[in-house]
């Protein structure tokens, strides 16, 4: 059936690919889904996000994918999203010729990594917005519009809470710096 092989060959594959578009599905909150669509320039109406390996989120997702010889069925929640994985010379065989799976722990690591990237991006947006003299409400509305997400109270409050916690840490740092300076002057 196949010509005899000595060693590995990149031209003759012993079996046909199972995955023409290797993908994984995980549960992710709607706001984080919108952020991933924004990062990877995906259409909001598509149910899948095509990953590019040059972004840290894509590297995180790729690092948590496990290839199996048999399928693993796992129930998903309502907030599930599918990521189309990027192929290269190294991972093509593993991704195309095996069943792909992400463990619950891997899914948790992916979610926490995306949340970290999202919070960091939000902090940068607020820093730039405050430098330009914008009010908090205007910055939040611009972020939600940029993510092409609904401006509902849950999303608004989540972003507002991120800003509140960040500004609180900044104020605590300033206070600790002032406290140290005051203690230095008292003993001189």
Q: CA 152, 153, 157, 158 torsion: positive or negative?
A: negative
| Token digits of residue 28 | 């992710």
Question: Cα separations (Å) of 179 from 70, 93, 169, 187?
Answer: 61, 59, 15, 13
pTM of the model: 0.75
pLDDT at 13: 44
Q: What radius of gyration do the chain's Cα atoms show?
A: 23
Q: Where are the alpha helices (DSSP H) in the chain?
A: 30-39, 56-63, 92-96, 104-131, 136-146, 153-186
- Mean pLDDT, consecutive 10-residue stretches, the chain (188 aa), reads 45 50 86 91 86 89 81 73 81 71 90 94 92 91 83 80 88 85 65
pLDDT at 184: 63
d(CA 70, CA 167) in angstroms, rounded, equals 49
pLDDT at 19: 55
| Token digits of residue 118 | 């999202």
| Token digits of residue 86 | 């990027």
pLDDT at 24: 84
d(CA 179, CA 167) in angstroms, rounded, equals 18
pLDDT at 90: 67
φ, ψ dihedrals at 18, nearest 5°? -90, -35
């Amino acid at each position: 059936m196949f010509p005899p092989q000595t060693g590995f060959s990149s031209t003759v594959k012993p079996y046909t690919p199972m995955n023409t578009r290797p993908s994984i599905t995980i549960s992710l909150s709607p706001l984080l889904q919108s952020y991933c669509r924004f990062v990877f320039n995906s259409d909001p109406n598509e149910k899948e996000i095509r990953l590019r390996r040059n972004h840290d989120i894509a590297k995180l997702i790729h690092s948590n994918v496990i290839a199996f010889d048999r399928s693993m069925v796992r129930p998903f929640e309502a907030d599930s999203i599918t990521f189309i994985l990027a192929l290269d010379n190294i991972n093509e065989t593993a991704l195309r010729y095996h069943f792909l799976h992400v463990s619950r722990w891997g899914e948790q690591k992916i979610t926490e990594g995306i949340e970290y990237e999202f919070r960091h991006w939000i902090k940068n947006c607020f820093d730039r917005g405050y430098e330009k003299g914008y009010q908090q409400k205007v910055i939040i509305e611009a972020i939600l519009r940029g993510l092409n997400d609904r401006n509902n109270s849950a999303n608004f409050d989540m972003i507002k809470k991120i800003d509140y916690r960040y500004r609180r840490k900044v104020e605590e740092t300033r206070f600790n710096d002032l406290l140290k300076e005051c203690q230095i002057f008292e003993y001189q």
